[in-house]
C-alpha cells in the first residue's frame, strides 16, 4: 500500500498527536501520584530522556499541563510543578457543594420523578456485592456526582461541574486509597439516593454537603502525608 504525500503527512501528524496525548497522561499521572513533586524543577531534555522520546511531543504535553495549571515554565529556569495550593482545591470543593446542592433541589422539585435506577444498581447493593478496587471506585464516585448534576438538564451547570471535577481529580482519587473511605462512600451515596427517591430535599442536601466536606478533609490529610513521605524518600525538606 502506498501513501500520497498528504496522506503520509496526516498519518505522521496523527502519530505525533497520539504520542503527545500518551505523554500528557503519563506526566499527569506522575504529578497525581507524587512522583513529580510540587516545586520540583526539570528540563524538556530531562523529560525526553526519562520517557525515551524526542523533545517535541514532550513540549506539547508540558504546555498542555501548564495551561491546565499543573506546571509552570520560566524563561531561564525551565519547568517546575506548581506549588500545592490547598486553598484553591478547597474553594473548588466548595463550588462542588453549591452546584450539587442545586442539583438536589432540581431533582426533588422536578414535575416527573428523575430516573435514578442506574445509580441505585451501583450503590444500593448489599455489602458483599460492593467493589473494593479504589481506582474503579474513584471513577464510579465521579460518575455518581456528575449524574446528579446532569439530571438537572442544565448543560452549562453540567459543563462547569465537569471542569471542577477534572481540576480536583489530582487529589480526589486519594480518598479511595483507604478501605474505610470506600465503605463510607457506599453508605453515604446510598443515604443520599434514598432521600432523593423520597424527594426529601433538605435531608439530601445536608447529607451531600457533609459527604463532600468529609471527603475534602480526608483528602487533605492523605495528601499532606503522601507529600511528606515522598519528600522524605527523596531527601527533600518539607515545604
Inform me whether the pLDDT recorded for 87 exceeds 90. Answer: no
* pLDDT given for residue 2 in this prediction: 54
Could you give the residue ranges of the DSSP H alpha helices within the chain? 5-32, 44-51, 55-67, 86-109, 117-123, 134-150, 155-172, 179-197, 201-234
Task: Give tens-digit pLDDT for 32-54.
Answer: 777 888 778 899 999 999 999 99
Question: Are the beta carbons of 151 and 107 closer than 8 angstroms?
Answer: yes
* Angle, vertex CA 92, rays to CA 195 and CA 34, nearest 5: 110
Task: Kindly state the percentage of the chain with pLDDT values over 70.
Answer: 91
Query: Is domain 86-231 classified as CATH 1.10.357.10?
Result: no
Inform me whether the pLDDT recorded for 134 exceeds 80. Answer: yes
CATH of 5-83, one of 3.40.50.10490, 3.40.50.1580, 1.10.10.10, 1.10.10.60: 1.10.10.10
- Residue appearing with cell numbers 513521605: 229
Q: What is the mean pLDDT of the chain?
A: 87
- The boundaries of every CATH 1.20.120.530 domain in the chain are 86-231
Residue 236 pLDDT grade (very low, low, confident, very high; cuts 50, 70, 90): low
Task: Give tens-digit pLDDT for 211-229.
Answer: 999 999 988 888 787 777 7
* pLDDT given for residue 239 in this prediction: 45
Inform me whether the pLDDT recorded for 63 exceeds 80. Answer: yes
Residue 60 pLDDT grade (very low, low, confident, very high; cuts 50, 70, 90): very high
DSSP for 169-235?
Answer: HHHHGGGGSSHHHHHHHHHHHHHHHHHHHTT-HHHHHHHHHHHHHHHHHHHHHHHHHHHHHHHHHHT
Residue 10 neighbours by CB under 8 Å, 6+ apart: none
- The boundaries of every CATH 1.10.10.10 domain in the chain are 5-83
Amino acid at each position: 500500500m502506498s501513501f500520497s504525500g498528504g496522506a503520509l503527512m496526516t498519518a505522521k501528524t496523527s502519530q505525533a498527536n497520539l504520542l503527545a496525548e500518551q505523554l500528557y497522561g503519563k506526566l499527569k499521572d506522575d504529578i497525581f501520584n507524587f512522583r513529580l513533586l510540587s516545586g520540583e524543577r526539570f528540563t524538556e531534555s530531562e523529560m525526553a530522556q526519562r520517557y525515551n522520546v524526542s523533545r517535541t511531543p514532550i513540549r506539547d504535553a508540558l504546555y498542555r499541563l501548564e495551561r491546565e495549571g499543573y506546571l509552570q515554565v520560566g524563561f531561564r529556569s525551565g519547568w517546575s510543578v506548581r506549588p500545592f495550593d490547598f486553598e484553591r482545591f478547597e474553594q473548588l470543593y466548595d463550588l462542588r457543594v453549591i452546584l450539587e446542592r442545586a442539583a438536589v433541589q432540581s431533582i426533588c422539585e422536578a414535575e416527573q420523578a428523575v430516573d435514578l435506577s442506574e445509580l441505585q444498581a451501583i450503590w444500593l447493593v448489599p455489602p458483599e456485592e460492593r467493589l473494593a478496587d479504589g481506582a474503579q471506585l474513584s471513577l464510579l464516585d465521579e460518575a455518581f456526582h456528575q449524574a446528579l448534576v446532569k439530571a438537572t438538564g442544565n448543560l452549562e451547570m453540567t459543563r462547569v461541574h465537569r471542569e471542577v471535577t477534572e481540576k480536583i481529580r489530582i487529589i480526589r482519587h486519594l480518598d479511595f486509597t483507604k478501605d474505610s473511605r470506600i465503605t463510607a462512600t457506599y453508605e453515604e451515596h446510598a443515604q443520599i439516593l434514598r432521600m432523593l427517591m423520597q424527594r426529601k430535599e433538605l435531608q439530601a442536601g445536608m447529607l451531600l454537603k457533609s459527604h463532600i466536606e468529609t471527603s475534602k478533609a480526608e483528602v487533605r490529610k492523605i495528601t499532606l502525608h503522601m507529600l511528606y513521605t515522598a519528600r522524605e524518600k527523596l531527601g527533600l525538606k518539607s515545604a
